[in-house]
Amino acid sequence: MTVDTSDAVLVADIGGTHARFALTPSGASRPDEPVVLMTALYPSLEDALMTFLEQAGPVALSGVAICAAGPVEGKGADARIAMTNCPWVVEAAAIAKATGVAQPVLVNDFTAAAVSLPYLTDDDVVTIGGGTAQAGAPIGILGPGTGLGVSGLIPAPDGTYIPLAGEGGHVSLAPSNQREISLLFQLMQTHGHVSAERVLCGPGMEELYQALGALDGSPETGRPTAPDIARMAQAGTSPLARETIEIFTGLLGSVAGDLALTLGAKGGVYLAGGILPRWGDMLNHRLLRHRFEAKGRFKTYLAEIPLYLITAKDIALVGLTALARGKA
């Protein structure tokens, strides 16, 4: 592919498993179909980036924005992300050298996802209960993938939004019933501190499955992957897999409710990430909504906040396009 406009921007979403690279042509708010590379096949971001640029052919770039799963340290040319679930170190200086763009934008992956929210349409989401989103109010976003991303948008006086850069996925996991309390103690024996991300992500599903089996002395054997667990639950061949999905869903709803309370997210809370959209009817909307609202005296407060499941793909790249063009 060749993009010959001087207003093309390069965007990339670097996750723990896959790196997605794309070009957004002049005048477009959404990028072309991304090229997806496995991070494990490349020793560094620069190697993967050069592979993409070689495939893209000659292109004049007016901007570059890249997000990665991890906290951003430093600013400007010194900005860098030592990724949480991948050995890569993403550095602004190396990106500038590889692309020829002097000031690339480097942000956390869920900061980029948060920036995309004003660009989403009704076709990009499924509403899971609640009232009407309040215009100009804070908005929350979280989602399980290789890790658990968390961010949000805070309204600014000029009518725009300020995206948050944080590591909310690493807050302490809070159980809400006896089964979850037992599960927490089981996980603490192995990990000490148990964060929300410890269970609410792809590898976390596998942790949940093993921990639940250990609690019950389950006869089920093996160490199935997260996709295997989802398939077994869907097929009804494994009660343990089905419980894993249900507990995952309940805990995610609870964490989403915590985020809504923390931000005062009357603009809504969005669920993103690569796991939930693939579950289809297996995602228990009633349980998710119940646990979202189950906060005692603040149940009525939360009942008015809409919860959205994002079904659109690669929303971080949409947010990165806006960032690369200085529109966010």
Number of domains in the chain: 2
Q: For residue 204, tell me if it sits in a domain.
A: yes
The token pair at 13 is 């979403």
Query: Average pLDDT in the 61-81 region?
Result: 91
Please tell me whether residues 129 and 215 are part of one structural domain: yes
Range of the domain at 139: 121-311
Judged against a pLDDT cut of 80, whether residue 129 lies above it is answered with yes
| Local structure of 319: helix, strand or coil | helix
Kindly indicate the confidence band of residue 204, based on its pLDDT and cuts at 50, 70 and 90: very high
Q: How many CA atoms lie within 13 A of 9 on its CB side?
A: 28
The sheet carrying 72-73 orders its strands as 72-73, 80-82, 89-91
pLDDT tens digit string along 306-328? 999 999 999 999 999 999 998 87
Contact by Cβ (8 Å): 93, 77: yes
Q: What is the per-residue pLDDT for 133?
A: 96
Kindly indicate the confidence band of residue 70, based on its pLDDT and cuts at 50, 70 and 90: confident
Terminal-residue alpha carbon distance, the chain? 27
What is the 3 state secondary structure string of 79-123?
A: CEEECCCCCCEEEHHHHHHHHCCCCCEEEEHHHHHHHHHHHCCHH
Please tell me whether residues 176 and 238 are part of one structural domain: yes
Strand-pair category, 72-73 with 61-68: unpaired
Q: What is the per-residue pLDDT for 234?
A: 94
Choice between 59 and 178, residue whose per-residue pLDDT is larger: 178
Q: Looking at the chain, which runs of residues are DSSP E strands? A: 8-14, 18-24, 35-38, 61-68, 72-73, 80-82, 89-91, 105-108, 125-127, 139-144, 148-155, 161-163, 269-271, 307-310
In this structure, the dihedral spanned by the alpha carbons of residues 145, 149, 155 and 161, taken in order and rounded to 10 degrees, is -60
Please tell me whether residues 161 and 228 are part of one structural domain: yes
Please tell me whether residues 292 and 173 are part of one structural domain: yes
Q: Tell me, what CATH number does 298's domain have?
A: 3.40.367.20
State the Cα–Cα distance between residues 212 and 288, nearest whole angstrom. Answer: 20
Judged against a pLDDT cut of 90, whether residue 86 lies above it is answered with no
Last residue of a domain, one of 75, 108, 141: 108
The pTM of this model reads 0.90
